[in-house]
Structures are given as C-alpha cells and as structure tokens.
Structure 1
C-alpha cells in the first residue's frame, strides 16, 4: 500500500485517479482549492485537503509522508503557460523538500509529435486557442526536462480528443514514446477510467522515467 497525493482531485481525471488508487488499497490525499465543493471525495481511504499546486509550500506540506504524487490540476482562469510552468516549478521544489521522488503528471496529446519534429499543435490549421493552451503544457515539460535527477517524473499524454467520462474501466491501454500512437490521433476513443489505470500502474510499478509518453486505448 502506498500513500498517494492527487492534485486536481476534483476534476474528471483526478476523481478517476483517486477512485482507482483507493480500489487498489492505497491511501489517498485528495487536493482541491476549495474542499467545500468536493466533500463527496472524502471517505474510506481518502483525506480531502485544501491546497494550491502552484505554491511550493503547499506542495511540500501536503506531500510530506507520501510515496508519490499525481498532478491532474488544470486552471482555465489564468494563462496556460503561467499556470503549468508555475505549477511544475512548485511541484519540483515542494517534492524535493518533502522527499517524495515519484511524480506522474497528466499531459496533453497535442504536445506529442504527429510527424518527426512536428508537434500536433504545430500542424497546419490547428486552432490558435488550443495551440496556446498546448504551449503551456510544452513549457512545463521543458521545465521538467531541465530539472535535476531528484524527482523521477513522467508525463502521460492521452490522445488529443475529449476523453470518455462514461465508459467503464477496461484496464487496457498502450504506452508509447513522444509520438502519437496508432489510433491515438482521435480515431479511437479513450476513457478517463483507463487513463487512471495507467497513472496508478506507473506509481505501483514505474516503467517510464523522466519522459513524455503517449497513452491510448
């Protein structure tokens, strides 16, 4: 049994990660900015706490005594690059102070390569608003790649589609490298439930280290 922190536990991906971890017998600290809005998350195996992933002090305090951290936090009310870069710096700083070595983050499929050297968000005709959001993820990835070896991080990037929040857990998924997986370009669906399986698998038995990895059905 591990003790796992999930930042952004109130979102679709975060809720699924919490549920998957608890089902497997792990103890979870679910972090949200306003616990009053997410009281339903608290229960057996889950402690609900307030915290801000962009504050290193919050990260350090919450993560102390835990074995791993998942970051599923997203904010749309501030610029993408500002949020994801500040959050990444805070995670690296806070987890280093807390002595937590494993960090698994949810990325975005538009930062994967559609062709050698060409990210999905750089393809001709890609919507500008989506590109700006994706560039925030890319900037955060650059921060991770420049960080020291103390934190064993992994960014899992699901396909660049709207994930299925209703599909049941199948337990099946594929993990690749930094390029879109065959069928992972939007031609096949992928569920939040199976994304959560991949997240917890990479905490229980880490197989990918300090890299961006595509994950798809």
Structure 2
C-alpha cells in the first residue's frame, strides 16, 4: 500500500484523483485550503488536511511520510504566473524536505505545441485572457525544468479543450510528447476521471520523467 498526497483535492481533477487512489487500495491525504468546505472527501483511506501549495513549509508538513505527490491545484483569484511559479518552487522545496521523490503536476493543453515551436497559446487570435492564464502554466514548467532537484517531476497536460466532468472512468488514455495529440475519429471528449487514472499511474509507476507530456 502506498500513500499519496494530492494538492488541490477539492477541484474536479483533485476529487477524481482522490477517488482513483482509494479505488486502488492506497491511502491518500487530500490537501485543501479549507477542510470544512470539503468534509465530503473524508472517508476510508482519505485524510483531509489544510495546506498551502505555495508555501514550502506547508508542503513539507502535509507530505511527510508519503510516497508520491500529485498537484491539481489552481487559483483563479491570484495572477496565474504568480500562483503557478510559487507553487512549483514550494512543491520542489517542500517535497525535497519531506523526502518525497515523485511529483506529478496537472498542466494545461494550451502550453502544448500546435505546430513545431508554437504553443497553442501563441496561435493567431488566441484570447488574451486565456493566454495570460496559460503563460502561468508555462512559467511553472520553466521553474521545474530549471530546478536542481532530486524530485522526479512530471507535467501531464490534457487536451486544450474543456474536459468531460460527467463521463465515467474507462481506464484508457494515451500519451505523447509536448505536442497536442491528434484527435482520433469518433473519440469522446477526454474526461477528468481518465485524467485521474493517468495521474495516479504516473505517480505509482512512473514512465515519464522531468518533462511536459500530452495526455488524452
């Protein structure tokens, strides 16, 4: 049995990740800003705790004695670059102190390349507000890539579309490089439930390392 700590556990991706870990028979610590708002997460194998993904000391405290970490954390009330850069630095520092060697982070599909050398957010006509949010994720990736750290990190970026929040888990997904995965004929929209499968797979049995990887 492994112990996984999930940051941002109260969101759509976070909740499904917590459920996926539990369904596999592992223990999970669900980290949220206000546990009172997420009491429904608590259950067999789940401990709900308060934590701040942008503070290294908080990360180290909640991550102690865990085998891997998954971050699905997001903030819309803080400038994107400020939040994601702070989170990347705090996660690496805090997990390093706690001795947690594996980190899987949810990225965003708009940072993937639509064409060689051109991220989706740099395509002509891309909305300015969406581009600012995407650039925060890109800055987060640059912090991770430049870091001198023993933490084996990975950024998994789902397709640059709205994910299906209602679809049931199929357990099927595919991964690629740092380019948007080509759409398959008659394929259903990628779901949060299957994103959670990919996140937990990479946390428990890593196949990709220190890179940005498309998943869909």
TM-score bin (small chain): over 0.9
Any idea what the Cα deviations from partners look like across 1:159-199, whole Å, max 9, x if unmatched? Answer: 01110010000110001010011118xx8510000000001
Question: Please, what TM-score do these two structures have when normalized by structure 2?
Answer: 0.97
> In structure 1, what is the equivalent of residue 40 of structure 2?
40
Distance 1:163 1:33 in 2: 24
Question: Please, what TM-score do these two structures have when normalized by structure 1?
Answer: 0.97
The gaps in structure 1 that reach 5 residues or longer are: none
Equivalent pairs counted in the alignment come to 214
Deviation of 1:104 after TM superposition, in Å, equals: 0.1
> In structure 2, what is the equivalent of residue 191 of structure 1?
191
> In structure 1, what is the equivalent of residue 214 of structure 2?
214
RMSD: 1.0
Any idea what the Cα deviations from partners look like across 1:94-130, whole Å, max 9, x if unmatched? Answer: 0110110100000000000000000000000000000
Where does 1:58-69 land on structure 2 (aligned, <5 Å)? 58-69=58-69
Distance 1:26 1:148 in 2: 30
Distance 1:10 1:188 in 2: 25
Deviation of 1:148 after TM superposition, in Å, equals: 1.8
> In structure 1, what is the equivalent of residue 114 of structure 2?
114
Please state whether the residue corresponding to 1:153 is helix, strand or coil.
strand
Deviation of 1:30 after TM superposition, in Å, equals: 0.1
Are 1:146 and 2:146 an aligned pair?
yes
Which stretches of structure 1, 4 residues or more, deviate above 3 A after TM superposition? none
